[in-house]
Amino acid sequence: MLDIQAQILARIQAADTIIIHRHVNPDPDALGAQGGLAAVLRASYPTKTVYVVGSDPENLSWLATMQTIPNDTYRSALVIAVDTADTPRVSDARFATGAGLIKIDHHPNDDPYGELNWVVPEASSTSELIADLVAASNGQLQLTAEAARFLYAGIVGDTGRFLYDNTSPHTLQVAAELIRYDFDPTALNNRMNQITLAQGRLQGYVFDHLHITPAGAATVEIPLAVVQELGLDAGSVHAAVGTPGRLGNVVAWAIFVEQADAPYRVNLRSKGPIINELAKAHQGGGHPLAAGAKAQDRAEINQITAELAAIVAKGTQHE
């Protein structure tokens, strides 16, 4: 039997139209894997039609732009969903209407959708997996400078500029190969590190309103009124997600972002204690140290706060 990479390559080879999806509220890895794979396929198969679709990238529009396609395009198309753990998070519900569906991801495989699943939770990012697919293709797939830029952005984004523990020796080897191509990694890093004055003020709000338990569990709520007063959109708020972790006494944290017409968005991060099971218990999921969830109301915010505090307290008792 062909291994999963060979099976994916065979499906790509056989398809005339390929539509690539990723998750809602995209981060650099979602856009990097999506855009990088599209650039690779367009360079490798000039006669194939390749589309990238999904919601507006908002504050990451400088990295990637989406295409608008009619429903009929899906009729005979191969659909590839990248960096998306479960079907509710796929941006654009039409992903399920294609002639075939492949999942490529690095989140825990709790929802193994699609006819082919290539999921490697140990990988730093889905962008790293796309680079691995190119390397495993024996020349069938061609990397370009455009693709390398996308994939490097995705790896940098999901490793926190190689600071997170998902950075493996292989991750660094892949990144080293990517920067051999003709793009400016320094300029890209500087662009990814850039924030607006409003985002800086939001980070200040987080520090001013952060609640930290003695064991190091930190929580903060960002009201919709604060976001609106600063003139920020939903995507721009993500700049504050890592802010609590810069404090030495913070071990794990939750940021509750009030939404206009939906439950609170909950961003969970950790420096050690596993927090993705907490996320799963509240309509979410993700990586062991980086996950997302939802809170319907104040009661659920209080519940998540208490559960996070318990997880951190238990972890520190075992140190």
Contact 131, 108 (CB under 8 A): no
CA–CA dist 36, 50 (Å, integer): 12
Q: What is the dihedral of CA 204, 252, 293, 309, to 10 degrees?
A: -110
Per-residue pLDDT of the chain (319 residues; tens, 9 = 90+): 469 999 999 999 999 999 999 999 899 999 999 999 999 999 999 999 999 999 998 889 999 999 999 999 999 999 999 999 999 999 999 999 999 999 999 999 989 999 999 999 999 999 999 999 999 999 999 999 999 999 999 999 999 999 888 999 999 999 999 999 999 999 999 999 999 999 999 999 999 999 999 999 999 999 999 999 999 988 889 899 999 999 999 999 999 999 988 789 999 999 999 999 999 999 988 889 999 999 999 999 999 999 999 999 997 654 5
Nearest CA among 148, 114, 122, 151 for reference residue 30: 151
Q: What is the pTM of this model?
A: 0.90
CA 9 centroid distance within chain: 23
Contact 258, 222 (CB under 8 A): yes
> How many Cβ atoms from other residues are within 10 Å of residue 300's Cβ?
18
Residue 261, pLDDT score: 83
Residue 1, pLDDT score: 44
Residue 91: exposed, middle, or buried by beta-carbon count in 10 A (0-12, 13-18, 19+)? Answer: buried
Residue 285, pLDDT score: 87
Residue 316, pLDDT score: 62
